[in-house]
Amino acid sequence: MATAHMQEDWTVQAALDWTVSYLEAKNDEHPRRSAEWLMSAATGLSRIQIYTFFDRLLSGDERSLLREGVRRRALGEPLQYVTGEVAFRHIVVHIERGVLIPRPETEVLVDVGLAAVDEAIEARGEARILDLCCGSGVIALSIANERPLATVVATDIDPKAVALTRRNAQALYLQDRVEVYECDLASALGDDSLGTFDLVISNPPYIPTAELSTLPQEVSGFEPRIALDGGVDGLEVFNRICSLAQGYLRSGGMLACELHENTLAQAASYCVKWYQQVEVVRDLTNRDRILRARHP
Ligand code: GLN
């Protein structure tokens, strides 16, 4: 790579300009945005500060960090894995290879979930939430962060996700209200949890298997298949959640699930057999995205 260009007297401005043109040449879709985030991660400067500290020299360590980040990004790795963090609603969480990168549509899922949390707080002064397939923990941690009267049980089958959710809970000082278990859906929960939750919420793997090969390389080449593959119809994990949530929800509790835009109608028709007020909610790009249903 252009190591020779990374000179000892590199200023923030010179390094930023070089990074932008290098990433542009590597076909980064948003080279300036990438360069700013990589510079922030390497120097600790905020994206605004980058522009107010233009003449500051980079230290040797900062140059190596930037160089390593640029190298990974140029190979097509998602920016969030390279910088190691992602902003979601009101929190910033750690993220790493092996765990799904949180998406903006999941912020809408949290909104849908919070309505059920608020109902419970209104009625009982507290709310108990079960987050299945928690990944990096953004759903569980956002709810706990935004509603101090909420307690959350989060589970994931993947030990990497469980470890990351625990780490994020500690970093946000939320570990007292977010319990994390490594298990297949709710299999680690005891019978005493049955009928105790006000909300079962999930962003399960939901891409129909045949569609996985059509995903952009940035997704299919880097993100974990276990977090994406929803089986032949995309609803394999959802169907299991739909069925087991009935046991864990209180009467009147809510199920809220993020799903693939082409599967919501089928999911809803499956769900109406057991649930009431089954509703499909659209995401920020106006696509069907979330199924909400009330346990009788
Ligand atoms: N929304 C993700 C994507 O389009 C999929 C997440 C999931 O399967 N839960 O890549």
pLDDT level of residue 6 (50, 70, 90 thresholds)? low
Mean pLDDT across 191-202? 97
Mean model confidence pLDDT for the chain: 96
Ligand 1 in reach of 206 Cβ (< 6 A): yes
The pLDDT tens digits for 217-226 are 999 999 999 9
Interval between CA 238 and ligand 1 midpoint (Å): 13
Give yes or no for residue 44 having a pLDDT over 80. yes
CATH 1.10.8.10 in the chain: give the residue spans.
2-83
Ligand 1 center from residue 88 Cα (angstroms): 15
For residue range 63-104, list pLDDT tens digits in order: 999 999 999 999 999 999 999 999 999 999 999 999 999 999
**pLDDT number for residue 4:** 47
- Asked if residue 219 has its Cβ within 6 Å of ligand 1, the reply is yes
3-state SS, residue 145: helix
Please give the distance, rounded to the nearest whole angstrom, from the Cα atom of residue 1 to the centre of ligand 1. Answer: 33
For position 5, what pLDDT does the model report? 58
Q: In angstroms, rounded to a whole number, what is the distance separating the alpha carbons of residues 267 and 231?
A: 14
Residue 2 has pLDDT above 80, yes or no: no
Q: Where in the chain is the domain with CATH 3.40.50.150?
A: 99-294
Name the CATH superfamily for 99-294. Answer: Vaccinia Virus protein VP39 (3.40.50.150)
Query: How far is the centre of ligand 1, averaged over its atoms, from the C-alpha of 51 (Å)?
Result: 34
User: Is residue 205 in contact with ligand 1, taking CB distance under 6 Å?
Assistant: yes
Contact criterion met (CB below 8 Å) for 96 and 162: no
Going by CA atoms, what residue is nearest to atom 5 of ligand 1? 228
Residue 215 CA, closest ligand 1 atom number: 10
From 207, 237, 260, mutation site for ligand 1 pocket: most ligand atoms within 8 A of C-beta: 207
Q: What is the CATH number of domain 2-83?
A: 1.10.8.10
Which tens digit of pLDDT belongs to each residue from 104-152?
999 999 999 999 999 999 999 999 999 999 999 999 999 999 999 999 9
Kindly list the strands in the beta sheet with 150-156, ordered across the sheet, starting from the edge strand earlier in the chain: 178-182, 150-156, 127-132, 197-202, 249-258, 288-294, 276-282
Report the alpha-carbon angle 3-16-63, nearest 5: 45
The helix (H) or strand (E) run that includes residue 72 is helix 60-74
The neighbour count for residue 248, using CB atoms within 10 Å, is: 24
